[in-house]
Amino acid sequence: MNFRRIMKIFPLLSLVVLSFVAMGCYPEHNQSTFDPKGPVAEAQLVIFWWILIGGVIVTVLVEIALIYAIFKFRRKNEDEMPKQVHGNIRLEIIWTVIPAIFLAIIMVPTIQTLFYASEAPKSALPQHTLEAIGHQWWFEFRYPNPENPEEEIVTANEVYIPVGYPIAINLESVDVIHSFWVPKLAGKVDMVPSEGNYMWFEADEPGEYYGQCAEYCGESHANMKFKVIAVPEVDFNAWLQYQAQPAFESGDPLALEGADVFKDAGCSGCHATKTVVKKGSKGRVGPNLAHLASRQDLAAGMLDNSNPDGSVNDSYLQKNLRIWLEDPNSIKPGNIMSAQAAVYTDENKKLTEAQISALVNYLTSLK
């Protein structure tokens, strides 16, 4: 293709690219940072605008100077050589001082916001704390048990918070570095193995806020999502109390059979169904399944079981569980369950159709 042809399609190409870029910025999108729903994300957005506006002013000034110089000092005809200069102390001081002033101005709100985001404000309200633990490729959450400070309530991939309260979050990882990001509530913070990290956020209004791992952590990094569900405090307390209850025991014969398969097929080796654990104890390889059927998604946001109003639809859940158990790898490439569970690695131990049906029935009963 010759240069002319490229120049002809260039405007069209840039339009297409620009429209894709703009699609990522529309504020209503659940992972857009342009419509913050909490004070931390708001403060960070203000910094973004300061830096963007400062950057635009500097860019425009530099471009104007550049274009001016190009025209003013260009070679006017073939036999005239423009004046050759080297160095200009006054100019150099000016173009060092102006950006320095801009940086100094932007530094003030930046440092303020750094301090603001680094620790939850001490308020009269009781503080809620939360442990978030990154695993390849899902998130474990633990709450202090209000009934017993020595214990923690465990769940996965879906986290409830009370609206209007600062939530202090301790971040950890059991394997590689992950990053905890809920764009509408706060900027990302790394989850570093054996090196605790900390952040806080607060939701101003009830809603579902999508989260995402934001640090490349292996094959299914892009499939490592979670949900923050902000609800009024009474609902939060009810939810937490409910999560602390033991898993529901169904009397349905197929579910009972499924519970047996769950033990016999080695599922319980990686999945706990006990909700309350000793504080700081090591979790298992896979997500806690005690109240799996009360969660909107399966496999860290990969399969949606919910009705439009957020309630769990049992028939979606059953369908999704079947898809997951038949071949987890087709949903989440490289996931540890298909890589390590004997029922997927050993042809002789493969789950039968009947076993899958029993498991689906049992897991759907875990409300």
Interface pick for Cu ion out of 217, 240, 289, 336 (rule CB under 5 A):
217
DSSP one-letter code for 306? B
Least distance from C-beta 296 to ligand HEC, angstroms?
A: 10
Distances in Å between the Cα of 87 and the Cα atoms of 91, 93, 94 are: 9, 11, 13
Q: Is 301 a binder of ligand HEC (CB under 6 A)?
A: no
The b/e string for 151-187 (b: 16+ C-beta within 10 A; e otherwise) is: bbbbbbbbbbbbbebbbebebbbbebbbbbbbbbbbb
Looking at beta carbons only, is 151 or 158 nearer to Cu ion? 158
Site for Cu ion in 135-194 (CB under 5 A): 178
Partner from ligand HEC, Cu ion, none contacting 138, C-beta within 5 to 8 A by type: ligand HEC
Q: Is 305 a binder of ligand HEC (CB under 6 A)?
A: no
Q: Is 142 a binder of ligand HEC (CB under 6 A)?
A: no
Q: Closest Cα partner for 158 from 38, 302, 282?
A: 302
Partner from Cu ion, ligand HEC, none contacting 39, C-beta within 5 to 8 A by type: none
Do the Cβ atoms of 15 and 23 come closer than 8 Å? no
Looking at beta carbons only, is 214 or 321 nearer to ligand HEC? 321
CB-count exposure of residue 261 (10 Å: 0-12, 13-18, 19+): buried
Interface pick for Cu ion out of 221, 225, 291, 295 (rule CB under 5 A):
221
Site for ligand HEC in 111-140 (CB under 6 A): 137-138
Do the Cβ atoms of 332 and 258 come closer than 8 Å? no
Place of tokens 């680094």: 118
Instruction: Say which amino acid occupies 98.
Output: I
Site for ligand HEC in 201-240 (CB under 6 A): 220
Residues at the interface with Cu ion (CB under 5 A): 178, 213, 217, 221, 224
Residues at the interface with ligand HEC (CB under 6 A): 137-138, 156-157, 220, 262, 265-267, 269-271, 285-287, 289, 292, 298-300, 321, 324-325, 332, 335-337, 340-341, 343, 359, 363
